[in-house]
Amino acid sequence: MALRGLMEGALTLTSPRSLLLTLQNLDVGQAFQPQLAIDLEGPNAVDPGGTATFSITLRNDGYAVAPGIAVVAVYPENSDFVTASDNYVLYNVANWPQGVLILKPFVRWDFVEVPARSIIRRYYQAFIRLPGAGAPASGTNLGGEVQLVTKAWADQVFAAYPVDGAP
């Protein structure tokens, strides 16, 4: 249960200094909840052979802690893992389009909790493959995405995949 109210105050800066607060309204309502939002920023296009840097912003605008959260970055098509910030887990998921093995990187960050009224940033880089099998044309839109899920869900989905990039 949460208490929400409106207070009015007066601050006297002359001597003696004082602060007077008056409660105007007090409501009893539902318990505070986390309000999570996630945003991915990165270049729209990078030429093959280049490196793209992506920024993830995780926000909890609510007044409650969000427990057991995972952020999963899905790398753009035709890209390879370069690096990621903080404590991450790398998964290379095997894909066989037209009989050719192509590994798709996923990077995951786990949070025991996301504090109320907080912002957390994470970064990762992708190498855009050179021209050839499985490579994009120059100037192709990169794509890529980020997902915000519970840690329990991520544990279940990624249970079958080895960590640290082994296919």
Q: What is the mean pLDDT of residues 50-64?
A: 94
First to last CA, the chain: 47
**Full DSSP string of the chain:** -EEEEEEEEEEE-SSSPEEEEEEEEEEEESPP---EEEEEE--SB--TT-EEEEEEEEEE-SSS-EEEEEEEEEPPTTEEEEEESSS-EEEEEEE-GGG--EEEEEEEEEEEEE-TTEEEEEEEEEEEPPSSTT-PPTT-B---EEEEEEHHHHHHHTTTSPSTT--
Judge whether residue 167 has pLDDT over 60.
Answer: no
Mean pLDDT score, 3-7: 64
pLDDT of residue 115: 97
pLDDT > 70? residue 131: no
Closest CA to 127 of 152, 146, 144, 109: 144
Cα separation, 66 vs 115, in Å, equals 7
Domain that holds residue 106: 36-157
Determine the Cα–Cα distance for residues 21 and 134; give it in Å rounded to an integer. 66
Residue 166 belongs to a domain: no
Residue 117 maps to a domain: yes
Lowest mean pLDDT among 16-20, 55-59, 158-162: 16-20
Our count of domains for the chain comes to 1
The residue with greater pLDDT, 100 or 118, is: 118
Q: What is the CATH number of the domain that holds 75?
A: 2.60.40.10
Q: Is residue 93 part of a domain?
A: yes
Q: Is 12 a domain residue?
A: no
Phi/psi at 55 (5° precision)? -120, 130
**Predicted confidence band of residue 152 (pLDDT cuts 50, 70, 90):** very high
Give 33's strand partners.
none
* Among candidate residues 73, 92, 68, 70, the one with its CA nearest the CA of residue 84: 73
Most confident stretch, 17-31, 103-117, 119-133, 150-164: 103-117
pLDDT of 8 strictly over 90: no
Q: Is the pLDDT of residue 100 over 60?
A: yes
Instruction: Tell me if 164 is assigned to some domain.
Output: no
